[in-house]
Amino acid sequence: MGTERELRRTRASWSLLLLGAAGSGTLVSRESRAKVLVMQSNLFNEPDLKGLKQGQEIVTPREERALIASIDAIELSPFRFHGWLGKRLTASYGWHYDFDRGSFGPTAPIPDWLLPVREKAARFAHLDPDGLVQALLIRYDPGAGIGWHRDRPVFEHVVGISLGAPATMRFRRRRPGGFDRASAFLAPRSIYHLSGEVRHEWEHSIAEMAATRWSITFRSLAAAKRRAIREP
């Protein structure tokens, strides 16, 4: 397990790297300056976003390697959105949202090798593991990211595990005249839970990666969807 001190050191050097990158050019846009300020305010703290919970070292480095190998052994497909092909590679289990057709339905069951990590994710989020009915695997190779979005309303809780390269999850919420913004550092082997306000009112995104990151996200179904399935 990494100590809090190690974690702070990692976050600090990563944030300084960002500061260096943003300050190295002669011209720094107002937007990138604003971003840097957000990062500075988060140097040592989790962002104060209602409904965001983060945890570290949810899997060991050995488990991380095994999970990455299992994801890489699967045939992942480029994310498809209304005929457009994204750079990130994905596979979903349990339930699949087809963004090309706007349809949602059951798909192959969650494989056994994901069940122990689903158990951990459920314990972290204080949820029933059987309620986490969707598992989405993503590989972000260099150049791949995920644009601004809120998860589909058919889902409720989102619990994500980060493997490989560290990343920043950016958050924004529209307000008159602009956006409130925040960002969360996603360390390798860490976990996050999005619920309530951050899940429903904020959008999130991940900038294009410089090194490969894998993520496993588990989702529960929204109450309305659960009712719709039970009541034909």
Ligand X SMILES: O=C(O)CCC(=O)C(=O)O
Write out the residues near ligand X by the rule CB under 6 A: 136, 138, 146, 151, 160, 204, 206, 215, 217
Q: How many helices (H) and strands (E) does the chain have?
A: 6, 13
How many Å apart are CA 54 and CA 37, to the nearest integer? 21
Residue of 152, 121, 128, 146 lying closest to 217 (CA atoms): 121
Nearest distance from C-beta of residue 203 to ligand X, angstroms: 10
Nearest distance from C-beta of residue 173 to ligand X, angstroms: 16
Q: Classify the C-alpha dihedral 168-174-175-179 as positive or negative.
A: positive
Total residue length of the chain:
232
When CB distances to ligand X are compared, the closest residue is 215
Nearest distance from C-beta of residue 12 to ligand X, angstroms: 22
Read out DSSP for 71-138? HHTS--EEEEETTEEEEEEEEEESEEEETTTTEEEE-SPPPGGGHHHHHHHHHHHT--GGGEEEEEEE
**Which of residues 89 and 146 has its CB atom nearest to ligand X in the complex?**
146
3-state secondary structure of 49: coil
191 to each of 57, 122, 180, how far by Cα in Å?
8, 11, 23
**Which of residues 19 and 165 has its CB atom nearest to ligand X in the complex?**
165
Please state the φ and ψ torsions of residue 154, each to the nearest 5 degrees: -65, -15
Nearest distance from C-beta of residue 204 to ligand X, angstroms: 6
**Which of residues 35 and 139 has its CB atom nearest to ligand X in the complex?**
139
**Which of residues 37 and 210 has its CB atom nearest to ligand X in the complex?**
210
Nearest distance from C-beta of residue 232 to ligand X, angstroms: 29
**Which of residues 14 and 19 has its CB atom nearest to ligand X in the complex?**
14
3-state secondary structure of 209: coil
Nearest distance from C-beta of residue 210 to ligand X, angstroms: 15
**Which of residues 19 and 56 has its CB atom nearest to ligand X in the complex?**
56
